[in-house]
């Protein structure tokens, strides 16, 4: 989470509740270490095993530094989840604007591939996903996290592939996101790195489903 992101989140009722926005580089770096430590500990111990004391020890900061910026461990986990979600959306946006995707179904593959890659390589992501275990309304108090993702995906699909933006597309993307989320979780339950057969089927199923709704 950058300083600007922290400021944006702290001023948003559905965002990560930073007590104090780090304005100096040293403070911002300290917050980053806390988030990194939190992600590592969630992978190792799960949310229930996490404590602010362990977090402070892993991050190499005083326990008072944790409470200077976060009221409790839940707030730190929320901040990690916001960071993961923003990173995912940035990756998707980059893939969609790089020019390598020729058709909307290439975009479906890119969305799934980026999600799978974060599951494999991003600390804390597999245990937290997009905040399921903590708060389903991290970015918007009126919409859950997947609804926010649907809106972002709709915007980039419409812009990149000249799709028709309407309620049918929103509905179809909602079904696609929820289905893809469930199937990818299944893939990672089957094998530690995600069962390639399940991931391939997820892509095919979602492309086939969206083909009934997507119009250009």
With cut-offs at 50, 70 and 90, classify the pLDDT of residue 122: very high
Distance CA 193, CA 20 (A): 37
Distance CA 88, CA 81 (A): 11
Give the CA diameter of the chain. Answer: 56
Q: What is the mean pLDDT of residues 182-197?
A: 95
What is the third-level CATH fold of 3-75? Tetracycline Repressor; domain 2 (1.10.357)
Same fold across 3-75 and 100-210: yes
**Among the listed residues 77, 85, 198, the one whose alpha carbon sits nearest the alpha carbon of residue 134:** 77
Q: What's the gap between Cα 173 and its chain centre? A: 17
pTM: 0.81
8-state DSSP, 70: -
CATH number for 100-210: choose from 1.10.3720.10, 1.10.357.10, 2.60.120.470, 1.20.1250.20.
Answer: 1.10.357.10
Q: Are 27 and 18 in contact (CB under 8 A)?
A: no
More confident position, 75 or 196? 196
Task: Look at residue 134 in the predicted model and tell me its pLDDT.
Answer: 67
With cut-offs at 50, 70 and 90, classify the pLDDT of residue 132: low
Distance CA 168, CA 148 (A): 17
Q: Which helix (H) or strand (E) holds 49?
A: helix 25-49
Distance CA 21, CA 5 (A): 9
Q: What is the mean pLDDT of residues 69-76?
A: 91
The rounded percent of the chain whose pLDDT value lies above 90 is: 46
Instruction: Mean pLDDT check: name the lowest of 104-108, 167-171, 205-209.
Output: 104-108
Domain boundaries, the chain: 3-75, 100-210
Asked whether the predicted pLDDT for residue 129 surpasses 60, the reply is: yes
DSSP per-residue letters across 89-134: HHHHHHHHHSS---SHHHHHHHHHHHHHHHHHHSTTHHHHTTTTTT
Asked whether the predicted pLDDT for residue 12 surpasses 50, the reply is: no
């Amino acid at each position: 989470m950058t300083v600007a992101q922290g400021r944006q989140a702290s001023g948003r009722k559905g965002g990560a509740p930073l007590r104090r926005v780090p304005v100096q580089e040293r403070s911002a770096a300290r917050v980053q270490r806390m988030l990194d430590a939190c992600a590592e500990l969630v992978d190792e111990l799960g949310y229930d095993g996490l404590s602010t004391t362990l977090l402070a020890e892993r991050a190499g900061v005083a326990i008072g530094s944790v409470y200077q910026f976060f009221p409790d461990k839940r707030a730190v986990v929320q901040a990690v989840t916001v960071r993961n979600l923003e990173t995912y959306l940035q990756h998707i946006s980059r893939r969609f604007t790089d020019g390598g995707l020729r058709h909307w179904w290439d975009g479906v593959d890119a969305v799934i591939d980026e999600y799978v890659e974060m599951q494999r390589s991003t600390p804390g992501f597999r245990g937290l996903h997009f905040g399921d275990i903590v708060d389903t309304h991290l970015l918007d108090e009126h919409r859950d996290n997947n609804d926010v993702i649907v809106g972002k995906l709709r915007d980039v699909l419409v812009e990149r592939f000249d799709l028709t933006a309407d309620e049918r597309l929103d509905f179809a993307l909602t079904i696609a996101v929820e289905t893809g989320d469930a199937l990818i979780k299944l893939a990672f339950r089957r094998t530690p790195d995600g069962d390639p057969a399940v991931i391939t089927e997820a892509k095919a199923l979602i492309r086939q489903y969206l083909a009934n709704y997507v119009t250009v």
